[in-house]
């Protein structure tokens, strides 16, 4: 059973690639027993052979010639990131019936459907568990374990950096700039934190998850995305006082017309399982017709955890290759469309700074009513002096019943135009 | 792609079987797209055709002749439960190269290795995700997603009934008999609750999980099992005061000699992800070398959730059958042994009722020290009058550092023999 050899080409030797090289080298004998054939790392394609690495494989393995390495391999593990040359290389490998494992989130969110089609046409296997939520097995459960069920909604905490930041704001009352600086100091956030903080990283993952959960083709451009840079310590405290915690949520939701995919800050009740996802951990909460509510929790990033996901894909696909028979291709048979934000029906919290005068609450309540937005709770949170306005003013916090995004937006637009409203300080969805 | 037909024989039409019949009937067209072939439910084997069912399929489908139904099928879904005739029927089906999905926990915990060997020899596929933790996808992640990693420990809440009971005791300070009666009233517990309360149900699941996590053959007899019937409201309150919650934990743990598999009540810190598993939910917490800490959470039982797991297995296996090529057989290549309870190294809490006299604390601390058990905290929790003893007495609560089960037991034996110790009220492990 262990007589065949599986030649592995590794593209990339960064944080994750180094760990994959280590596991392929150190665990070769045990992997052989699991696969039924011996994996042989035949080369590691890098941009420069001389760069220092976390794990150093045999010198002879490093090469800058990715193309000829791919040609000699049975399986290609692509961990370079970015769109090109990764896409061209993967298409080249698949066309030559080499199985491919990729952890390239940006590439799959942008061109996943094209790559899956290429795999299906050639009969090669293509897996990318590591592209979403690091080590958390989520794509395989969606594809296989829930293959006989109907998923209705996926709520995910899919970015560890922002979860670390929001969790610190919640735990300590710290403000945004302070926790961002801390995240950067600890290496959770990049010097330019835009991709994390503005939700782009989570949006790429949401597009991939939505594609598999709803058997349709979605791209990162289909994701409505709002980051956390407007979230203040006051927002977090107000949420906490009401029994909520603020998370950067990825939501993929079946609606009447298709699938709504969005990434935005949202309040979730403290009793919801997602509320207890702390630090840089990720979690994906799945709602389905038959299974009900499931949650998958784990480290969303990091070299070794992500390498574990890559190796899980590799062993599964190598096992299939040794056994013979094709892999299971991905079909997007439903062809659902991505829907607009105006399709979203949700609860919202709205924070307002208003002039503290008789009748102002009634006037504001009236604006909500006129736009068909029903108020669940409304309270004057506190008073304070503001130097830039004449006289006292009050802070009002409203939680709405479920309402359409369109009605909510027209409500906010009218509130903003009222002379008694100084400022709309926050508008945040409530989910869960 | 959708030209072939997959003939399905369903054995059993209870809570789960009825739901599977419903899904196979109502979702046939969409399942056909997912599988690449049309599933056709050709019959449902039952003990009596006339029993009322949750979901009633066409009358002509019900039969008492399971054997001839199996002979006409491509795939057999076994949901009858119990060892026989389920085992004989599954072996018969596998020998005739019919793929089998089973949700039969008792059978797989007792004879899983034999059934897997039969499947491997015939080339038929054999899946049993529904046998563990209802809808929660745990076996497939262990087998496939973590296929390139090394699992070091699995901690699971694998029985919904006992979790419901312990959660109610924790939330309301209720005592054991009260929550058992409530669980029975709500249908969570059977009239004879032994299988749940004494941990036998959780032990069967632990044996299956340990087999897949550690690539070895384990049976229910390998599991050291203690139930929750000795857990009192006082134990739960004392744990809560120290920042812990008591759960019935299934622990599968690699140790120097093999794998220790046990089910017992244990204290876990309230900050641990398993502590927020409430009501009748289940969760499986996996610790691995590379992925780190993962958790899988969801409903552990119920007709529709368990049917979702059965259907996930069915679609995956039918897809493979249509594509051609063998399924991935399970190998127990490691052949690890189950180890004895004396191998367990853990922290413990010990509750004592002692005579309240000078020097008693020192005497007790000395007993621990003599047996090599290091004390982390020791405090006199409260005083109260006891009518059956002369004079005051005190309640002492000790948390140990990590110690061997053997040293702990010899400590307890000596404490019990001391005249100043009235009673050892509880000895509970601390995990997580």
What ipTM score was computed for the predicted complex, to two decimals?
0.90
DSSP code string of B282-300: EEEEEEETTTEEEEEEEE-
Nearest to A146 among B33, B294, B308 (CB): B308
Whether B389 has a pLDDT exceeding 60, the answer reads no
Mean pLDDT of A38-49: 95
Q: Mind telling me how many Å the CA of A246 is from chain B's nearest CA?
A: 18
Whether A313 has a pLDDT exceeding 90, the answer reads yes
- Does B33 contact A at CB distance below 8 Å? yes
Are B148 and A308 a contacting pair at CB < 8 A? Answer: yes
Cα–Cα distance, A53 to B341 (Å, whole number): 43
Whether A388 has a pLDDT exceeding 70, the answer reads no
Q: Please give the share of chain A, as a percent, with pLDDT higher than 70.
A: 97
If you measure CA to CA, which chain B residue comes closest to A19? B290
Q: Where are the beta strands (DSSP E) in B216-343?
A: 224-225, 244-255, 258-269, 281-288, 292-299, 337-338
The token pair that represents B4 in the structure block: 């072939």
Whole-number pLDDT of residue B105: 93
Reported as a single tens digit per residue, the pLDDT across A223-253 is 999 999 999 999 999 999 989 999 999 999 9
Reported as a single tens digit per residue, the pLDDT across A196-230 is 999 999 999 999 999 999 999 999 999 999 999 99
- Identify which of B200, B127, B158 has the alpha carbon closest to the alpha carbon of residue B297: B158
Whether A74 has a pLDDT exceeding 60, the answer reads yes
Whole-number pLDDT of residue A381: 63
- Does A305 contact B at CB distance below 8 Å? yes
Based on C-alpha coordinates, what's the Rg of chain B?
25
If you measure CA to CA, which chain B residue comes closest to A300? B291
Catalytic residue (choose from A98, A105, A205, A247) = A205
Q: Work out the burial of residue A387: count CB atoms within 10 Å of its CB; fewer than 13 is exposed, 13-18 middle, 19 or more buried.
A: exposed
Whole-number pLDDT of residue A130: 93
Whether B368 has a pLDDT exceeding 80, the answer reads yes
Are B293 and A294 a contacting pair at CB < 8 A? Answer: no
Whether A389 has a pLDDT exceeding 80, the answer reads no
Q: What is the mean pLDDT of chain B?
A: 92
Are B294 and A296 a contacting pair at CB < 8 A? Answer: yes
**Could you tell me how far CA A169 lies from the centroid of its own chain?**
20
pLDDT band at B187 (very low <50, low <70, confident <90, very high): confident
Mean pLDDT of B396-414: 94
Whole-number pLDDT of residue B384: 55
Whether B336 has a pLDDT exceeding 80, the answer reads yes
Chain A residues within 8 A of B121 when measuring between CB atoms: none
Whether A159 has a pLDDT exceeding 70, the answer reads yes
3-state secondary structure at position A338: strand
Mean pLDDT of A291-307: 93
Whether A361 has a pLDDT exceeding 90, the answer reads no
Q: Does the pTM exceed 0.90? A: yes
Lowest-pLDDT choice from A22-31, A67-76, B101-110, B138-147: B138-147
The widest CA-to-CA distance across chain A, in whole angstroms, is: 85
Whole-number pLDDT of residue A50: 87
Whole-number pLDDT of residue B1: 41
Chain A residues within 8 A of B333 when measuring between CB atoms: 33-34
- Does A14 contact B at CB distance below 8 Å? no
Interface test with A, best of B36, B144, B311, B335 (most A CBs within 10 A): B144
Cα–Cα distance, B19 to A291 (Å, whole number): 11
Catalytic site includes residue A87: no
Chain B residues within 8 A of A79 when measuring between CB atoms: none
Q: Which residues contact A39 (CB under 8 A, 6 or more apart)?
A: A5, A6, A8, A24, A28, A31, A32, A75, A314, A318
Whole-number pLDDT of residue A342: 86
If you measure CA to CA, which chain B residue comes closest to A297? B295
Q: Which residues 87-146 in chain B show a CB within 8 A of chain A?
A: 129, 135-137, 140-141, 144-146
Whole-number pLDDT of residue A326: 82
Is residue A350 within 8 A of residue A397, CB to CB? The reply is yes
Q: Mind telling me how many Å the CA of A31 is from chain B's nearest CA?
A: 7
Whole-number pLDDT of residue A2: 45
Mean pLDDT of A258-269: 96
């Amino acid at each position: 059973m262990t007589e065949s050899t599986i030649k592995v080409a590794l593209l990339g030797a960064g944080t994750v690639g180094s760990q994959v090289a280590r596991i392929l080298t150190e665990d070769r004998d045990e992997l052989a027993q699991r696969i039924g054939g011996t994996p042989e790392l035949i080369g590691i394609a890098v941009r420069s052979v001389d760069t220092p690495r976390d794990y150093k494989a045999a010198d002879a393995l490093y090469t800058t010639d990715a193309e000829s390495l791919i040609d000699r391999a049975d399986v290609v593990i692509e961990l370079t990131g970015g769109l090109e040359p990764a896409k061209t290389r993967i298409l080249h490998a698949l066309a030559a019936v080499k199985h491919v494992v990729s952890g390239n989130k940006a590439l799959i969110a942008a061109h996943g459907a094209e790559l899956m089609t290429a795999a299906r046409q050639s009969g090669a296997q293509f897996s990318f568990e590591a592209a979403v939520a690091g080590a958390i097995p989520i794509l395989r459960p969606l594809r296989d374990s829930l293959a006989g069920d109907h998923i209705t909604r996926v709520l995910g905490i899919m970015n560890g950096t922002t979860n670390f930041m929001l969790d610190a704001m919640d735990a300590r009352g710290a403000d945004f700039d302070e926790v961002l600086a801390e995240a950067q100091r600890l290496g959770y956030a990049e010097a330019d934190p835009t991709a994390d903080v503005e939700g782009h990283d989570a949006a790429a993952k949401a597009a991939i998850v939505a594609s598999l959960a709803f058997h349709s083709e979605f791209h990162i451009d289909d994701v409505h995305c709002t980051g956390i840079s407007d979230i203040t310590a006051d927002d977090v405290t107000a949420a906490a006082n009401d029994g909520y915690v603020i998370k950067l949520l990825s939501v993929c939701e079946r609606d009447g017309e298709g699938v709504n995919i969005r990434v935005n800050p949202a309040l979730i009740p403290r009793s919801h399982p997602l509320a207890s996802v702390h630090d840089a951990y990720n979690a994906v909460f799945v709602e389905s017709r038959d299974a009900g509510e499931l949650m998958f929790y784990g480290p969303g990033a990091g070299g070794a955890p992500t390498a574990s996901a890559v190796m899980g894909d590799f062993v599964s696909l190598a096992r299939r290759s040794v056994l013979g028979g094709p892999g299971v291709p991905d079909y997007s048979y439903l062809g659902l469309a991505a829907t607009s934000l105006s399709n979203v029906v949700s609860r919202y919290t709205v924070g307002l700074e208003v002039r503290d005068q008789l009748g102002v609450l009634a006037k504001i309540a009236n604006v909500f009513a006129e736009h068909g937005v029903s108020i669940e709770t409304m309270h004057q949170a506190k008073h304070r002096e503001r130097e830039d306005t004449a006289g006292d003013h009050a802070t009002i916090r409203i939680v709405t019943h479920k309402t359409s995004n369109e009605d909510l937006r027209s409500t906010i637009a009218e509130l903003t135009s009222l002379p008694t409203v100084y400022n709309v300080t926050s508008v945040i969805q409530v989910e869960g």
